[in-house]
Amino acid sequence: MNTPAPAPQTLAQKLIARAAGRSSVSPGDIVTCKVDLAMFHDSSGPRRLKPMLEELGAQIWDKSRVVLVMDHYVPERDDESRKIVRIARDWAREQDLPHVYDSQGICHVVVAQHGHIRPGMFCVGGDSHSPTGGAFGAYMFGIGSTEMLGVVVTGEIWLRVPQTLQMHWRGRLQKGVTAKDMMLHMIGRFGMNGGQYQAVEFAGPAVKALAMQERMTLSNMSAELGAQVGLIAPDEVTAAWLQAAGAPASELGDPGRWQSDEGAAMTRHEFDAGALAPFVAAPHSPANADVVSRYSGTPVDVAYIGACTGAKLDDLRAAAEVLRGQRVATGVRLMVAPASQKDQNAAREEGVLQVLLDAGAELFPTACGACAGYGETIGDNTTVISSTARNFKGRMGSATAQVYLASPYTVAASALRGVITDPREVLA
Protein backbone atom coordinates (compact mmCIF):
# COMPACT_ATOMS: atom_id res chain seq x y z
CA MET A 1 0.00 0.00 0.00
CA ASN A 2 1.40 3.40 -1.00
CA THR A 3 1.93 5.95 1.77
CA PRO A 4 0.16 9.20 0.85
CA ALA A 5 2.45 12.16 0.28
CA PRO A 6 2.38 14.74 3.10
CA ALA A 7 0.24 17.78 2.49
CA PRO A 8 2.07 20.91 1.28
CA GLN A 9 3.61 22.73 4.22
CA THR A 10 3.85 26.45 5.00
CA LEU A 11 7.16 27.95 6.05
CA ALA A 12 5.93 28.03 9.66
CA GLN A 13 5.00 24.34 9.55
CA LYS A 14 8.39 23.39 8.10
CA LEU A 15 10.26 25.28 10.83
CA ILE A 16 8.15 23.77 13.61
CA ALA A 17 8.38 20.27 12.14
CA ARG A 18 12.17 20.47 12.08
CA ALA A 19 12.29 21.61 15.72
CA ALA A 20 9.83 18.89 16.74
CA GLY A 21 11.74 16.17 14.89
CA ARG A 22 8.80 15.39 12.61
CA SER A 23 8.46 15.19 8.86
CA SER A 24 5.40 17.44 8.90
CA VAL A 25 2.90 19.11 11.23
CA SER A 26 -0.65 20.42 10.84
CA PRO A 27 -2.33 23.50 12.32
CA GLY A 28 -3.71 22.63 15.74
CA ASP A 29 -1.10 19.96 16.48
CA ILE A 30 0.55 20.30 19.88
CA VAL A 31 4.24 19.47 19.65
CA THR A 32 7.37 19.76 21.77
CA CYS A 33 10.16 21.67 20.06
CA LYS A 34 13.89 21.77 20.72
CA VAL A 35 15.11 25.35 21.11
CA ASP A 36 18.16 26.47 19.13
CA LEU A 37 18.51 29.85 20.82
CA ALA A 38 17.10 31.55 23.93
CA MET A 39 17.57 35.31 24.20
CA PHE A 40 16.73 37.53 27.16
CA HIS A 41 17.73 40.95 28.42
CA ASP A 42 18.46 42.71 31.69
CA SER A 43 14.77 43.34 32.36
CA SER A 44 13.37 39.92 31.44
CA GLY A 45 16.31 37.67 32.31
CA PRO A 46 18.65 37.21 35.27
CA ARG A 47 16.70 39.15 37.88
CA ARG A 48 13.77 36.78 37.30
CA LEU A 49 15.56 33.57 36.22
CA LYS A 50 18.34 33.54 38.82
CA PRO A 51 16.12 33.08 41.93
CA MET A 52 13.91 30.51 40.19
CA LEU A 53 16.89 28.45 39.03
CA GLU A 54 18.38 28.58 42.53
CA GLU A 55 15.10 27.47 44.10
CA LEU A 56 14.96 24.50 41.73
CA GLY A 57 18.66 23.73 42.04
CA ALA A 58 18.68 23.66 38.23
CA GLN A 59 21.32 24.55 35.63
CA ILE A 60 21.21 26.08 32.14
CA TRP A 61 20.75 23.29 29.61
CA ASP A 62 23.28 24.66 27.07
CA LYS A 63 25.06 27.96 27.70
CA SER A 64 26.18 28.19 24.08
CA ARG A 65 22.53 28.58 23.08
CA VAL A 66 21.80 31.45 25.46
CA VAL A 67 22.28 35.14 24.63
CA LEU A 68 22.01 37.89 27.23
CA VAL A 69 21.73 41.55 26.19
CA MET A 70 21.81 44.54 28.53
CA ASP A 71 19.62 47.12 26.76
CA HIS A 72 16.64 48.19 28.88
CA TYR A 73 18.20 49.71 32.01
CA VAL A 74 21.45 51.00 30.54
CA PRO A 75 23.02 53.40 31.03
CA GLU A 76 22.02 53.13 34.70
CA ARG A 77 20.32 56.27 35.96
CA ASP A 78 19.21 55.40 39.51
CA ASP A 79 19.61 52.82 42.28
CA GLU A 80 16.89 50.56 40.89
CA SER A 81 18.45 50.37 37.43
CA ARG A 82 21.92 49.89 38.90
CA LYS A 83 20.60 46.96 40.95
CA ILE A 84 18.92 45.32 37.94
CA VAL A 85 21.97 45.66 35.70
CA ARG A 86 24.32 44.51 38.48
CA ILE A 87 22.28 41.31 38.93
CA ALA A 88 22.56 40.64 35.19
CA ARG A 89 26.30 41.30 35.03
CA ASP A 90 27.09 39.27 38.16
CA TRP A 91 24.97 36.34 36.98
CA ALA A 92 26.59 36.39 33.53
CA ARG A 93 30.02 36.12 35.21
CA GLU A 94 28.87 33.40 37.62
CA GLN A 95 27.44 31.35 34.77
CA ASP A 96 30.37 32.12 32.48
CA LEU A 97 27.93 32.88 29.65
CA PRO A 98 29.74 33.05 26.30
CA HIS A 99 27.29 35.41 24.54
CA VAL A 100 26.76 38.60 26.55
CA TYR A 101 26.26 42.03 24.95
CA ASP A 102 26.42 44.84 27.48
CA SER A 103 25.29 48.29 26.33
CA GLN A 104 25.85 47.35 22.68
CA GLY A 105 22.33 48.17 21.54
CA ILE A 106 18.82 46.75 21.51
CA CYS A 107 18.56 42.96 21.76
CA HIS A 108 16.59 42.30 18.56
CA VAL A 109 19.18 44.15 16.48
CA VAL A 110 22.31 43.10 18.37
CA VAL A 111 21.51 39.37 18.30
CA ALA A 112 21.01 39.45 14.54
CA GLN A 113 24.07 41.61 13.91
CA HIS A 114 26.27 39.05 15.65
CA GLY A 115 25.03 36.21 13.44
CA HIS A 116 23.13 34.31 16.13
CA ILE A 117 19.92 33.86 14.10
CA ARG A 118 19.99 31.80 10.94
CA PRO A 119 17.45 30.24 8.57
CA GLY A 120 15.74 27.13 9.90
CA MET A 121 16.32 27.87 13.58
CA PHE A 122 13.69 27.71 16.32
CA CYS A 123 14.24 30.50 18.86
CA VAL A 124 12.55 32.17 21.81
CA GLY A 125 13.08 35.58 23.34
CA GLY A 126 12.16 37.23 26.60
CA ASP A 127 10.62 40.22 24.85
CA SER A 128 7.47 40.83 22.84
CA HIS A 129 9.38 42.00 19.74
CA SER A 130 11.32 38.74 19.47
CA PRO A 131 9.49 37.93 16.18
CA THR A 132 12.17 40.16 14.59
CA GLY A 133 14.13 36.93 14.12
CA GLY A 134 11.54 35.80 11.58
CA ALA A 135 13.10 38.16 9.04
CA PHE A 136 15.91 35.60 8.73
CA GLY A 137 13.69 32.59 8.12
CA ALA A 138 13.79 31.51 11.76
CA TYR A 139 10.78 30.70 13.94
CA MET A 140 11.23 33.16 16.82
CA PHE A 141 8.67 34.42 19.29
CA GLY A 142 8.41 36.08 22.69
CA ILE A 143 7.71 34.22 25.94
CA GLY A 144 7.35 35.15 29.61
CA SER A 145 9.75 34.43 32.47
CA THR A 146 8.09 31.20 33.60
CA GLU A 147 8.18 29.76 30.09
CA MET A 148 11.76 30.95 29.74
CA LEU A 149 12.66 29.08 32.93
CA GLY A 150 11.38 25.87 31.35
CA VAL A 151 13.39 26.53 28.20
CA VAL A 152 16.57 27.40 30.07
CA VAL A 153 16.39 24.18 32.11
CA THR A 154 15.16 21.72 29.45
CA GLY A 155 15.99 23.31 26.09
CA GLU A 156 12.44 22.59 24.96
CA ILE A 157 9.02 24.24 24.76
CA TRP A 158 5.61 23.02 23.65
CA LEU A 159 3.72 24.75 20.89
CA ARG A 160 0.37 24.58 19.18
CA VAL A 161 0.97 24.78 15.44
CA PRO A 162 -0.66 28.00 14.20
CA GLN A 163 -2.49 28.81 11.00
CA THR A 164 -0.54 30.90 8.49
CA LEU A 165 -1.69 34.34 7.39
CA GLN A 166 0.26 35.48 4.33
CA MET A 167 0.61 39.18 3.54
CA HIS A 168 1.51 39.19 -0.17
CA TRP A 169 2.86 42.52 -1.47
CA ARG A 170 3.12 43.01 -5.22
CA GLY A 171 4.81 45.93 -6.97
CA ARG A 172 7.47 48.14 -5.41
CA LEU A 173 7.41 50.91 -2.80
CA GLN A 174 7.64 54.55 -3.87
CA LYS A 175 10.53 56.71 -2.72
CA GLY A 176 9.92 57.81 0.85
CA VAL A 177 7.63 54.85 1.65
CA THR A 178 9.02 52.09 3.85
CA ALA A 179 8.40 48.81 5.64
CA LYS A 180 7.10 50.85 8.59
CA ASP A 181 4.37 52.25 6.34
CA MET A 182 3.53 48.74 5.16
CA MET A 183 3.13 47.63 8.78
CA LEU A 184 1.04 50.59 9.87
CA HIS A 185 -1.23 50.00 6.88
CA MET A 186 -1.67 46.32 7.82
CA ILE A 187 -2.21 47.05 11.51
CA GLY A 188 -4.72 49.77 10.65
CA ARG A 189 -6.57 47.33 8.41
CA PHE A 190 -6.57 44.22 10.61
CA GLY A 191 -6.16 45.66 14.12
CA MET A 192 -3.81 44.60 16.88
CA ASN A 193 -5.46 41.18 17.14
CA GLY A 194 -5.68 40.62 13.40
CA GLY A 195 -3.01 37.94 13.44
CA GLN A 196 -3.75 36.58 16.90
CA TYR A 197 -1.66 33.47 17.53
CA GLN A 198 -1.16 33.06 13.80
CA ALA A 199 2.08 32.78 11.89
CA VAL A 200 2.19 35.85 9.66
CA GLU A 201 4.30 35.42 6.54
CA PHE A 202 5.36 38.45 4.49
CA ALA A 203 5.85 37.61 0.83
CA GLY A 204 5.77 38.94 -2.71
CA PRO A 205 8.02 41.04 -4.96
CA ALA A 206 7.87 44.13 -2.74
CA VAL A 207 9.07 42.15 0.28
CA LYS A 208 11.88 40.47 -1.67
CA ALA A 209 13.01 43.92 -2.83
CA LEU A 210 13.49 45.10 0.76
CA ALA A 211 16.92 45.33 2.34
CA MET A 212 17.52 43.15 5.40
CA GLN A 213 16.92 45.83 8.01
CA GLU A 214 13.62 46.78 6.39
CA ARG A 215 12.59 43.13 6.51
CA MET A 216 13.45 43.18 10.21
CA THR A 217 10.97 46.03 10.67
CA LEU A 218 8.19 43.92 9.12
CA SER A 219 8.90 40.93 11.34
CA ASN A 220 9.41 43.12 14.40
CA MET A 221 5.99 44.73 14.14
CA SER A 222 4.16 41.48 13.50
CA ALA A 223 3.89 41.68 17.29
CA GLU A 224 1.56 44.66 16.83
CA LEU A 225 -0.64 42.44 14.66
CA GLY A 226 -0.92 40.00 17.55
CA ALA A 227 0.96 37.32 15.61
CA GLN A 228 3.17 34.73 17.24
CA VAL A 229 5.78 35.04 14.50
CA GLY A 230 6.45 37.23 11.47
CA LEU A 231 8.25 35.17 8.85
CA ILE A 232 10.07 36.05 5.64
CA ALA A 233 11.48 33.26 3.47
CA PRO A 234 15.27 33.53 3.35
CA ASP A 235 17.08 34.24 0.08
CA GLU A 236 20.39 35.53 -1.21
CA VAL A 237 19.83 38.87 0.60
CA THR A 238 19.50 36.99 3.89
CA ALA A 239 22.58 34.86 3.26
CA ALA A 240 24.75 37.84 2.28
CA TRP A 241 23.71 39.85 5.34
CA LEU A 242 24.31 36.97 7.75
CA GLN A 243 27.72 36.18 6.27
CA ALA A 244 28.68 39.83 6.75
CA ALA A 245 27.46 39.49 10.35
CA GLY A 246 29.83 36.58 10.95
CA ALA A 247 27.51 33.59 10.51
CA PRO A 248 29.53 30.75 8.95
CA ALA A 249 28.44 30.02 5.38
CA SER A 250 28.45 26.32 6.27
CA GLU A 251 25.65 26.95 8.78
CA LEU A 252 23.35 28.87 6.43
CA GLY A 253 22.26 25.72 4.62
CA ASP A 254 20.02 25.93 1.58
CA PRO A 255 17.77 29.02 1.87
CA GLY A 256 15.50 27.54 -0.78
CA ARG A 257 14.49 24.83 1.69
CA TRP A 258 12.70 27.35 3.88
CA GLN A 259 9.83 28.41 1.63
CA SER A 260 6.11 27.74 1.80
CA ASP A 261 5.13 24.96 -0.56
CA GLU A 262 2.89 25.69 -3.51
CA GLY A 263 -0.65 24.88 -2.46
CA ALA A 264 0.03 25.01 1.29
CA ALA A 265 -3.09 25.92 3.28
CA MET A 266 -3.05 29.56 4.37
CA THR A 267 -5.14 32.71 4.34
CA ARG A 268 -3.66 35.17 1.84
CA HIS A 269 -4.17 38.93 1.61
CA GLU A 270 -2.98 40.97 -1.38
CA PHE A 271 -1.47 44.46 -1.25
CA ASP A 272 -0.14 46.86 -3.89
CA ALA A 273 3.13 48.38 -2.68
CA GLY A 274 3.21 50.90 -5.52
CA ALA A 275 -0.08 52.43 -4.40
CA LEU A 276 0.96 52.74 -0.74
CA ALA A 277 1.32 56.22 0.77
CA PRO A 278 3.20 57.02 3.98
CA PHE A 279 1.15 56.10 7.04
CA VAL A 280 0.82 57.60 10.52
CA ALA A 281 -0.74 56.02 13.63
CA ALA A 282 -2.48 58.47 15.96
CA PRO A 283 -2.56 58.17 19.77
CA HIS A 284 -2.91 55.79 21.53
CA SER A 285 -2.65 52.67 19.38
CA PRO A 286 -0.70 51.48 16.33
CA ALA A 287 -4.10 50.44 14.95
CA ASN A 288 -5.16 54.11 14.70
CA ALA A 289 -3.32 54.22 11.39
CA ASP A 290 -4.21 56.17 8.27
CA VAL A 291 -2.49 57.90 5.38
CA VAL A 292 -0.25 60.79 6.38
CA SER A 293 -2.54 63.34 4.71
CA ARG A 294 -5.12 62.60 7.42
CA TYR A 295 -2.80 64.14 10.02
CA SER A 296 -0.77 66.59 7.91
CA GLY A 297 -0.29 69.93 9.61
CA THR A 298 -0.53 68.61 13.18
CA PRO A 299 2.13 70.53 15.20
CA VAL A 300 4.83 68.43 16.89
CA ASP A 301 7.10 69.24 19.83
CA VAL A 302 9.38 66.19 19.66
CA ALA A 303 10.56 63.99 16.81
CA TYR A 304 11.98 60.71 18.11
CA ILE A 305 14.07 58.34 15.99
CA GLY A 306 14.78 55.31 18.12
CA ALA A 307 13.96 51.69 19.04
CA CYS A 308 14.56 48.30 17.43
CA THR A 309 11.81 49.21 14.97
CA GLY A 310 13.00 52.57 13.77
CA ALA A 311 16.66 53.44 14.43
CA LYS A 312 18.71 50.89 12.52
CA LEU A 313 21.31 52.11 10.04
CA ASP A 314 18.83 52.19 7.15
CA ASP A 315 16.45 54.25 9.31
CA LEU A 316 19.19 56.73 10.18
CA ARG A 317 20.08 57.00 6.51
CA ALA A 318 16.45 57.75 5.64
CA ALA A 319 16.26 60.55 8.21
CA ALA A 320 19.56 62.01 7.00
CA GLU A 321 18.31 62.01 3.41
CA VAL A 322 15.48 64.31 4.47
CA LEU A 323 17.53 66.55 6.76
CA ARG A 324 20.81 66.91 4.84
CA GLY A 325 21.89 70.55 4.78
CA GLN A 326 18.85 71.73 6.76
CA ARG A 327 17.81 72.46 10.35
CA VAL A 328 14.81 71.21 12.27
CA ALA A 329 12.03 73.72 12.87
CA THR A 330 12.39 76.15 15.74
CA GLY A 331 10.90 74.71 18.92
CA VAL A 332 11.12 71.09 17.77
CA ARG A 333 13.36 68.68 19.62
CA LEU A 334 14.88 65.91 17.47
CA MET A 335 15.96 62.94 19.60
CA VAL A 336 18.06 60.19 17.96
CA ALA A 337 18.84 56.93 19.76
CA PRO A 338 20.51 54.49 17.31
CA ALA A 339 19.47 50.86 17.65
CA SER A 340 23.01 49.55 18.14
CA GLN A 341 26.61 50.62 18.58
CA LYS A 342 27.40 48.93 15.28
CA ASP A 343 24.78 50.98 13.46
CA GLN A 344 25.82 54.17 15.22
CA ASN A 345 29.47 53.63 14.28
CA ALA A 346 28.55 52.90 10.66
CA ALA A 347 26.36 56.02 10.58
CA ARG A 348 29.28 58.05 11.91
CA GLU A 349 31.70 56.64 9.33
CA GLU A 350 29.26 57.34 6.48
CA GLY A 351 28.65 60.91 7.65
CA VAL A 352 24.98 60.11 8.32
CA LEU A 353 25.28 60.85 12.03
CA GLN A 354 26.92 64.21 11.37
CA VAL A 355 24.05 65.17 9.04
CA LEU A 356 21.58 64.51 11.86
CA LEU A 357 23.66 66.39 14.42
CA ASP A 358 24.10 69.35 12.06
CA ALA A 359 20.31 69.41 11.65
CA GLY A 360 19.94 69.85 15.41
CA ALA A 361 19.57 66.27 16.63
CA GLU A 362 20.41 65.27 20.18
CA LEU A 363 22.18 61.91 20.39
CA PHE A 364 21.03 59.40 23.01
CA PRO A 365 22.40 56.01 24.11
CA THR A 366 22.00 52.92 21.93
CA ALA A 367 19.39 51.37 24.20
CA CYS A 368 15.63 50.93 24.48
CA GLY A 369 15.40 54.37 26.09
CA ALA A 370 12.21 56.37 25.76
CA CYS A 371 10.51 53.62 23.73
CA ALA A 372 10.42 51.58 26.94
CA GLY A 373 9.78 54.60 29.16
CA TYR A 374 13.35 54.73 30.46
CA GLY A 375 16.00 57.43 30.43
CA GLU A 376 15.08 60.72 28.76
CA THR A 377 11.31 60.28 28.57
CA ILE A 378 8.54 62.43 27.11
CA GLY A 379 7.06 65.19 29.30
CA ASP A 380 3.52 66.37 29.96
CA ASN A 381 1.30 67.66 27.16
CA THR A 382 3.93 66.96 24.52
CA THR A 383 3.08 65.98 20.96
CA VAL A 384 5.56 63.46 19.59
CA ILE A 385 6.10 61.84 16.21
CA SER A 386 8.12 58.69 16.70
CA SER A 387 9.68 55.86 14.70
CA THR A 388 8.95 53.38 17.53
CA ALA A 389 6.49 50.47 17.35
CA ARG A 390 3.99 51.46 20.03
CA ASN A 391 2.23 54.61 21.16
CA PHE A 392 0.24 53.32 24.12
CA LYS A 393 -0.79 55.96 26.63
CA GLY A 394 2.09 56.70 29.00
CA ARG A 395 4.50 54.24 27.37
CA MET A 396 7.12 56.86 26.51
CA GLY A 397 6.67 58.89 29.68
CA SER A 398 3.79 61.18 30.59
CA ALA A 399 0.25 59.87 30.20
CA THR A 400 -0.67 63.27 28.76
CA ALA A 401 1.83 62.95 25.88
CA GLN A 402 0.30 62.46 22.43
CA VAL A 403 2.46 60.06 20.43
CA TYR A 404 2.08 59.53 16.68
CA LEU A 405 3.93 56.68 14.95
CA ALA A 406 5.55 56.99 11.53
CA SER A 407 8.55 55.98 9.44
CA PRO A 408 11.94 57.67 9.92
CA TYR A 409 11.33 59.56 6.66
CA THR A 410 8.07 60.98 8.00
CA VAL A 411 9.53 61.69 11.45
CA ALA A 412 12.43 63.63 9.89
CA ALA A 413 10.17 65.56 7.49
CA SER A 414 7.89 66.48 10.38
CA ALA A 415 10.86 67.67 12.46
CA LEU A 416 11.98 69.81 9.55
CA ARG A 417 8.64 71.57 9.14
CA GLY A 418 7.40 71.42 12.73
CA VAL A 419 4.17 69.72 11.68
CA ILE A 420 3.34 66.20 10.52
CA THR A 421 4.48 66.13 6.90
CA ASP A 422 4.41 63.73 3.97
CA PRO A 423 8.12 63.04 3.38
CA ARG A 424 7.59 62.80 -0.36
CA GLU A 425 7.00 66.57 -0.41
CA VAL A 426 10.46 67.18 1.08
CA LEU A 427 12.25 64.50 -0.95
CA ALA A 428 10.78 65.89 -4.17
Q: What phi-psi label fits residue 199: left (phi over 0), alpha (psi between -120 and 50 degrees) or beta?
A: beta
* CB contact at 8 A, 301 and 199: no
- pLDDT at 3 (0 to 100): 59
Mean of the pLDDT values across residues 113-140? Answer: 97
Per residue, what are the HEC states of 59-83? CCCCHHHEEEEECCCCCCCCHHHHH
Mean of the pLDDT values across residues 246-265? Answer: 86
What is the percent of the chain where pLDDT is above 90? 93
Residue 333 CB: number of other CB atoms within 10 A?
18
- Delimit the CATH 3.30.499.10 region(s) of the chain: 11-247+265-271, 279-427
Domain over 11-247+265-271 is classified CATH 3.30.70.920: no
Give yes or no for residue 261 having a pLDDT over 70.
yes
Mean of the pLDDT values across residues 91-115? Answer: 97
Name the strand (E) or helix (H) holding 373: none
- pLDDT at 197 (0 to 100): 85
Of 1-5, 90-94, 212-216, the least confident: 1-5
Tens digit of each residue's pLDDT (9 = 90 or more) over 174-211: 999 999 999 999 999 999 987 788 999 999 999 999 99
Average pLDDT, the chain: 96
Give yes or no for residue 256 having a pLDDT over 90.
no
Give yes or no for residue 1 having a pLDDT over 60.
no
Give residue 140's pLDDT band: very low, low, confident or very high (50, 70, 90): very high
Tens digit of each residue's pLDDT (9 = 90 or more) over 309-361: 999 999 999 999 999 999 999 999 999 999 999 999 999 999 999 999 999 99
Pairing of strands 302-306, 383-386: parallel
Instruction: State which fold the 279-427 domain adopts.
Output: Aconitase; domain 3 (3.30.499)
Mean of the pLDDT values across residues 13-24? Answer: 98
Tens digit of each residue's pLDDT (9 = 90 or more) over 269-321: 999 999 999 999 999 999 999 999 999 999 999 999 999 999 999 999 999 99
- pLDDT at 6 (0 to 100): 75
**How many whole angstroms separate alpha carbon 67 and alpha carbon 82?**
21
Listed in order, strand segments (DSSP E) in 244-382 are 267-272, 279-281, 289-291, 302-306, 333-337, 362-363
- pLDDT at 2 (0 to 100): 60
Single out the residue of 309, 18, 308, 27 nearest to residue 165, CA to CA: 27
pTM of the model: 0.96
